[in-house]
Structure 1
Amino acid sequence: MINVAIIGIGAISPAHIEAYKVFDDLCEVTTLCDIDLTKAREKAQSYGLKKVPIFKQFEEVCSDPTIELVSICTPPSTHAHIAVELLKSGKHVIIEKPMAASLEECDLINKTAEEHNKIVSVIAQNRFFTPMMKVKKVLDQKLIGHVLHSQVDSFWWRGNCYYDLWWRGTWEKEGGGCTLNHAVHHIDILQWMNGMPTEVTAIMSNTAHPNAEVEDLSVAILKYEDGSIAQVTSSVVHHGEEQQLIFQGEKARISVPWKIHASTSSANGFPNKDTKTEQTIESYYHSLPPQEYEAHVGQIHNVLHAIKDGTTVLVDGKQGRQTLELITAIYKSASEKKTVSLPLKSGDRFYSKESILNHTIYFNEKTFQVDDFETDSITTGGEYGK
């Protein structure tokens, strides 16, 4: 039985608690930790964890030798310090997105995990949805041919008060705006399916959230070594929150939510519908089995079995770093108003958190904050269709 602790009992913690409870034959949540003990006790009561000890300081989790796995659900600025100390104390860690506040912190986490032979998995729950897995396999089979253009629409909507929460809307504590904290999942999917680009050109703005230093809208153009291009729009100003990933290949176009269209050329170069190719790809897509477990449940299942069986995790610290590197390149390009080449190296002005704070764009001054909201109910998207 794998003993689990959860540090940070805020809005995302129920996704972890509920996922662990699915696998009560493999694990048990034995410890909760939060600086707000009252909130943590209420959450423990609501999830039937009445007898679970609740710590205020994460160091108490580190010192408990019975704990083997820890979910870190705290604000992004705290991820690296907590993760490093947990790894040093012999625990495996699951880190909520984003992995850390800087590439320097990611490298420290990964180095510590390697030194202590421990697992780091960064939450990227969208990978575990059935449509995502199916599209990944279609791409891997080259059924649409070479990918020429990719499009990511990470559209969300958040009201002004969203950034009133004490740690949100600041570069120091949240690490960025919608590009980092909302589009991170779609950007992770893009780099997982497409690989890393060689160049990034981006702009960003704050269009509707005056109590936030960070961006609420960004648009980035990515160029790959083979000449293909991707475009990524990250937003918290889009009503309806319509989200999609589109891959335009030589032979066909596919997307999540699932849609396919294939064309062949007529004698004058105009398109004709390629029914045969569409049917071939459609048949393969629908022949693929559904995921047994999806979203957080799927990723936590993956990590638990990696601990139990010694297998590798789908989303490790290297993958978490690559996603943050791509986001950091977007911030660098938008802030410096120039095209950025990848990879970003340790001497870069956007490599460390301190340097990012000194060189990024501050759109507004945060002048008001609350310690907590009356409700911590959230929506996480992910309605990708079948």
Structure 2
Amino acid sequence: MLRIGIIGTGGIADAHIRGYLAFPEDCEIVALADVIPAKAAQKAEAFALDAVQAFDDPLTMIAAGGLDIVSIATPPSTHAPLAIAALDAGIHVLVEKPMAPSLEECDAMLAAQERSGRMLSVVAQNRFRDDLATLKDIVDSGLLGSISHVRVDSAWWRGLPYYDLWWRGTWEKEGGGCTLNHAIHHIDLLLWLLGSPSEITAMLANAQHDNAEVEDLSVAILRYERGLAQLTSSVVHHGEEQAIVIQGANARVSQPFSVSAERSAPSGFPAEGGDPELVERITALVEDRVPLAHLGHEGQIGDLLAAVRDGREPSSTGQDGRNAVEVVTAIYKAGFEREFVALPIPASDPYYRAGQLVANAPHFFEKTATVMEAAS
């Protein structure tokens, strides 16, 4: 029975708690911690976790021992020190996205994982969705052919009060805006589907949130071999219509699910009727998939528990988390400096280092309000 501790008891902690509770034969939540006094105890009470020990200091919880896995569900600026402390204490770590605000901090976390021999997994719960796992299977099948273009719409909407929470809306505490903290999900999916790009350029804006330093909109172009991907990161899109559209040499597939395939007429124009046989093959692949047993955070937590039990890597590793932060770093550098950024980003690059992004980031506006708890 694996013993679980959770650091940070805000809204996202609920997904972690429910995820662990879905596997009562494999694990038990024994500790919660939050820096706001009594908040951990209140969360334990809300979930009727009567045997859980509550801490007002996460490091005290780690030092107390008796934990096998720690979930870190705190603001991004705290991820690295907390993860390193847990790993050095011999505890496996599941850390919320984004892994950390800088590549330097990500590498420090990976170094702690290496010397500890423990596991480090970064939350990428959208990999554990049937529709997106289906998209991955289609890409991996090769039926699409070489990839020409990918359009990723990480489209969200947030009102002005969203940035009143004490750690949101500042480069120092949140690490960035929608590119880092919302589109990180879609960036992970893009990397999961296609691997890392070779070059990135981008533009950033704050279109609607004059109470936040950070961007609320960015558009990036990523180069992939002969093809391109475009990524829109936003918290200003009404309707929150998110999509991934993949155009291959042979066919197009998208999420929400849709598939089409053209054939060339002798003139080079699309032949009437397209390629129904290829559409049928792709559709059959989708229909033959076995649905995932557990979804979202629950699916990822189940995978981590199995990885610990079986002595294998989790499906979303620390390196995967770092790769997503590298893309975000390149988008920010490209937007700040108005240039093309080659990947990988070397350790000699100033933007690799912790604090460099904060030092160079534009303040679109200044934060005008601070509350300790988000309104319901």
TM-score range, shorter chain: over 0.9
CA contact (8 A) 1:37 1:54 kept: no
Distance in 2 (CA, whole Å) between partners of 1:347 and 1:63 is 35
> For residue 300 of structure 1, what is the aligned residue in structure 2?
301
Unaligned runs of 5+ in 1: 376-386
TM-superposed CA distance for 1:270, in Å, is 1.4
Distance in 1 (CA, whole Å) between partners of 2:307 and 2:60 is 25
Alignment of 1:208-287 (within 5 A): 208-224=208-224, 226-272=225-271, 273-287=274-288
Distance in 2 (CA, whole Å) between partners of 1:231 and 1:315 is 23
TM-superposed CA distance for 1:2, in Å, is 0.2
Alignment of 1:1-386 (within 5 A): 1-224=1-224, 226-272=225-271, 273-375=274-376
Identity across matched positions, percent:
46
User: Secondary structure of the equivalent of 1:126?
Assistant: helix
TM-superposed CA distance for 1:148, in Å, is 0.8
Residue identity in the other structure for 1:285:
V
CA contact (8 A) 1:200 1:222 kept: yes
User: Over aligned residue pairs, what C-alpha RMSD do you find?
Assistant: 0.9
TM-score for both structures, normalised by structure 2? 0.98
Distance in 2 (CA, whole Å) between partners of 1:147 and 1:329 is 22
Q: Which runs of 4+ in 1 moved over 6 A?
A: none
Q: Deviations over 1:227-272 (max 9, x none)?
A: 2100000000000100011110011000111110000011221113
Distance in 2 (CA, whole Å) between partners of 1:29 and 1:209 is 38
TM-superposed CA distance for 1:374, in Å, is 3.3
Residue identity in the other structure for 1:278:
V
Residue identity in the other structure for 1:294:
L
Moved more, 301-310 or 54-63: 54-63
Distance in 1 (CA, whole Å) between partners of 2:60 and 2:85 is 11
TM-superposed CA distance for 1:57, in Å, is 0.9
Residue identity in the other structure for 1:286:
E
Distance in 2 (CA, whole Å) between partners of 1:373 and 1:106 is 28
Unaligned runs of 5+ in 2: none
Moved more, 4-13 or 354-363: 354-363
CA contact (8 A) 1:72 1:79 kept: yes
Distance in 2 (CA, whole Å) between partners of 1:168 and 1:52 is 29
Question: How many residues were matched structurally?
Answer: 374
Distance in 1 (CA, whole Å) between partners of 2:250 and 2:226 is 17
Distance in 2 (CA, whole Å) between partners of 1:37 and 1:252 is 55
User: Secondary structure of the equivalent of 2:214?
Assistant: coil
User: Secondary structure of the equivalent of 2:344?
Assistant: coil
Distance in 1 (CA, whole Å) between partners of 2:222 and 2:265 is 31
Distance in 2 (CA, whole Å) between partners of 1:349 and 1:202 is 18
TM-superposed CA distance for 1:288, in Å, is 1.1
CA contact (8 A) 1:149 1:230 kept: yes
TM-superposed CA distance for 1:360, in Å, is 1.9
CA contact (8 A) 1:349 1:359 kept: no
Residue identity in the other structure for 1:372:
E
Residue identity in the other structure for 2:120:
V
CA contact (8 A) 2:40 2:56 kept: no
TM-superposed CA distance for 1:170, in Å, is 0.4
TM-superposed CA distance for 1:58, in Å, is 1.2
Distance in 2 (CA, whole Å) between partners of 1:51 and 1:65 is 16
TM-superposed CA distance for 1:37, in Å, is 3.0
TM-superposed CA distance for 1:111, in Å, is 0.7
TM-superposed CA distance for 1:345, in Å, is 0.9
